[in-house]
């Protein structure tokens, strides 16, 4: 009997590079999905409609990062991460397909990991599944990512963004009013593998050794950090956490102008203090921030390329001015048995 594991990508409205210090993020799962149509089998074999080659490995998996072709590493990483927790992944023969743009900063890898976890028959609460899939990313690529993408893919709620406390893992859905539109504009395709992402994670760890957990720090203590680079990184994280809080409040109060200004401030902080933007992203943010009806725009996700996100009025005239992909907040991952 075949089954379908389905997991969405995500776009982050605000709160970047805060998750791996247990901070606040506000992503939404989007109406672009990765699916795995599968049947049970003893080992694992998968094909992809987006990539060449067939992935094959036996369970338990030995080295996820060596699996070929490379897209299969995310699947193998999930099996490896389940094994580390003494969970037993069940094998499958599957066909993978995705509508999540790959390498665009919309968490195509997290969507594949979450879909794979469901196909492996994982039986755990959402926070544990997200932690397994986060670990899978580490095993597959060595990128020390946080938990935002996997948790957003699992916990999505239609028409809602998700305020996530990455320390407690509490998820609070926040309704996105019908009068708003969320757009994603791809600036460049990239992966975080080989980027400065691990360096940023390390710099935040250095800051925490000096002033304690960044999620509890204030900007005055961040500004006392001696090393100027570490100081700037810490200042971004501390101010970004505060912006997420204020953005959630503004969205709930219907104050879209205030929400948009916070997105613009978030971009400036990622550009100046966290140095994860690019000149093309800066130019696109500048351009779209001038478009009437646009409230806010910023780089989204890990950065170093990828996407910007635009929050605007839902209005045909504005649609015409945005050369991007309109996305809608979608429900989280699911496992279903198709009717035959």
CA–CA distance, 296 with 257 (Å, rounded to integer): 8
Which residues are within 8 A (CB) of 290 and not within 5 positions of it... i.e. 6 or more apart? Answer: none
φ, ψ for residue 334 (rounded to 5)? -150, 160
Looking at the Cβ atoms of 44 and 267, the one nearer to ligand GLA is 267
Q: Are 20 and 35 in contact (CB under 8 A)?
A: no
Whichever of 105 and 324 has its CB closer to ligand GLA, that residue is 105
Which residue's CB is nearer to ligand GLA, number 93 or number 141? 141
Dump strand ranges (E) for 15-110: 24-40, 44-48, 54-57, 92-98
Left (φ > 0), alpha (ψ -120 to 50) or beta: where does 159 sit? left
d(C-alpha 183, C-alpha 326), whole Å: 4
Binding positions for ligand GLA, 3-42, rule CB under 6 A = 16-17, 19-20
Here's the x/- map for ligand GLA, 318-337, by CB under 6 A: it reads as --------------------
Residue 148 binding ligand GLA, by CB under 6 A: yes
41 vs 47: CA distance, rounded Å: 15
Cross-strand bridge partners of residue 48 = 96
CA–CA distance, 231 with 235 (Å, rounded to integer) = 6
| Placement of tokens 């397994």 in the chain | 132
Shortest distance, CB of residue 148 to ligand GLA, whole angstroms? 5
- Give CA–CA dist 158/328, Å, rounded: 8
Rounded-to-10 torsion of CA 14, 18, 19, 25: -20
Output the smallest distance, CB 137 to ligand GLA, in A: 7
Among the listed ranges 45-53, 141-149, 170-178, 322-330, the one in contact with ligand GLA (CB under 6 A) is 141-149
Site string for ligand GLA, 235-254 (x = CB under 6 A): --------------------
Site string for ligand GLA, 162-201 (x = CB under 6 A): ----------------------------------------
Helix axes 108-119, 72-84, angle to 10 degrees: 50
Compute the least distance from the CB of residue 117 to ligand GLA, in Å.
16
Closer Cβ to ligand GLA, 20 or 247, answer by number: 20
Residue from the set 72, 301, 305, 332 that interacts with ligand GLA by CB under 6 A? 301
Nearer to ligand GLA, 19 or 273 (CB): 19
**x/- map, 43-82, ligand GLA, by CB under 6 A:** ----------------------------------------
- Phi/psi region, residue 95 (left: phi>0; alpha: psi -120 to 50; beta: rest), is beta
42 is catalytic: no
* Coil, strand or helix at 304: coil
Active-site residue (options: 42, 43, 123, 149): 149
Minimum gap (Å) between residue 75 Cβ and ligand GLA = 17
Footprint on this chain of ligand GLA (rule: CB under 6 A): 16-17, 19-20, 145-146, 148-149, 301-302
Catalytic positions, written as ranges: 149
């Amino acid at each position: 009997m075949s089954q379908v594991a389905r997991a969405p990508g995500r776009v982050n409205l605000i709160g970047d590079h805060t998750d791996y210090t247990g901070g606040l993020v506000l992503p939404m799962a989007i109406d672009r999905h990765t699916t795995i149509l599968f049947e049970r089998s003893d080992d694992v074999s998968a094909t992809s409609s987006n990539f060449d080659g067939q992935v094959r490995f036996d369970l338990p998996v030995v080295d996820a990062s060596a699996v070929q072709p490379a897209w299969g590493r995310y699947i193998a990483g999930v099996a490896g991460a389940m094994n580390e927790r003494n969970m037993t992944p069940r094998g499958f023969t599957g066909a993978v397909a995705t509508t999540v743009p790959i390498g665009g900063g919309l968490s195509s890898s997290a969507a594949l990991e979450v879909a794979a976890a469901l196909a492996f028959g994982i039986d755990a609460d959402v926070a544990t599944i997200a932690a397994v899939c986060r670990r899978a990313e580490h095993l597959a690529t060595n990128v020390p990512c946080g938990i935002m993408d996997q948790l957003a893919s699992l916990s999505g709620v239609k028409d809602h963004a998700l305020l996530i406390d990455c320390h407690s893992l509490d998820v609070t859905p926040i309704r996105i009013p019908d009068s708003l539109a969320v757009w994603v504009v791809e600036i460049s395709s990239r992966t975080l593998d080989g980027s400065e992402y691990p360096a940023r994670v390390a710099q935040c760890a250095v800051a925490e050794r000096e002033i304690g957990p960044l999620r509890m720090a204030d900007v005055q203590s961040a500004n006392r950090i001696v090393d100027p680079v570490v100081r700037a990184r810490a200042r971004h994280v501390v101010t970004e956490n505060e912006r997420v809080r204020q953005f959630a409040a503004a969205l709930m109060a219907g104050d879209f102008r205030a929400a948009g200004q916070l997105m613009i401030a978030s971009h400036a902080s990622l550009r100046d203090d966290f140095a994860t933007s690019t000149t093309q992203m800066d130019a696109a943010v500048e351009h779209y921030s001038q478009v009437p009806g646009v409230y806010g725009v910023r780089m989204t996700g890990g950065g170093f390329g990828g996407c910007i996100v635009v929050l605007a009025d839902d209005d045909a005239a504005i649609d015409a001015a945005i050369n991007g992909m309109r996305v809608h907040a979608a429900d989280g991952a699911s496992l279903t048995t198709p009717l035959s």
